[in-house]
Every structure is written in C-alpha cells, then in structure tokens.
Amino acid sequence: MGGGGGSADSGEPEFQIAPMIDVLLVMLIFFMTITSTQVLRVDKEITLPVAPNSEKKENTRAEAVINVRWYDEAKRAEIVFEDKPYPKENMDALIAVLKTRRGDNPKYRAVIRGDKKLPARYVADSMDACGQAGISDIAFSVANKEASK
C-alpha cells in the first residue's frame, strides 16, 4: 500500500512526470537568465566591421564589453559600458569602473565593439582606458560576414 510509483498488483514502476517538468522549468529559467545577460551587453546600434577570417572567442572568462558608437551625422563617438555613456571628458569615471570590475582578476579581458565607421582614435581612447584600469588583454569584436538588412 505505501511506496510510490506503480501499482502493488503489477510490480512495475510508474513514470513520474512532475519532477521532470520541475527540472526542465528550472533549466529553462537558468538559460533564459544567462542569455539575457549576454544580450544586454551587445549594442544593436553598432555595425561591426567585417573580418572574414575571424575566429570565435572563448566565452569562459570574465570580460568587460565596451561599445563605441559612432554618430555619423554629428561626427562624434560615444563610449558605452554597462548601458552608461562615458564622454571623452569623463574617461576617469570609466577607468574607475573598469578597475572595480577587474578587481584582482589577472585574466580579466576587455572586448571593444566599435562601429565600422568609427575613426581609430576612439578605439585608441578605449584601449587607453583599459590599460589605465590594469586590463592588458583586449579583444575586438567583428563580424565574419556582412549583415543583411
């Protein structure tokens, strides 16, 4: 009479679906959370330069994703980190935030996502901020083919 799964008459276990659904829902929530965190770091306003021979980077290390937008009409750039813009005059604030994020992690990496029309001096400004924050490992984000519009 006691016991779970299966009737006493048949002696065969019953398939319990409720625990499986619980596990699947937990996994779904986990993957949705991880995916949304990665998506928030990507700025959709930036058109990446194309490098057909580029290789996909490893995603196992802690990293800072720095987006550098280019406004063609105004001929100006804007450095954005964690959805906060940092103008050229306020690079010290960006450096302080990067130092905090890096902490004591020597393998912390910066990924610079610059618009393909962006003049190189703004990428250099981003790299300089990373260097002053103690980040020596810098990668650049590119597309391996032209995006279709």
pLDDT tens digits for range 69-107: 888 888 888 899 988 999 888 889 999 999 998 988 888
The domains found in the chain, sorted by start residue, are 63-140 (3.30.420.270)
**Local structure of residue 79 (DSSP, 8 states):** E
Q: Write the pLDDT tens digit of every residue in 18-45.
A: 888 999 999 988 887 766 555 556 666 7
Beta bridge partners of 113: 67
Instruction: Output the pLDDT for position 98.
Output: 93
CA–CA dist 122, 87 (Å, integer): 11
With 0.85 as the threshold, say if the pTM is over it: no
Which amino acid belongs to residue 131? G
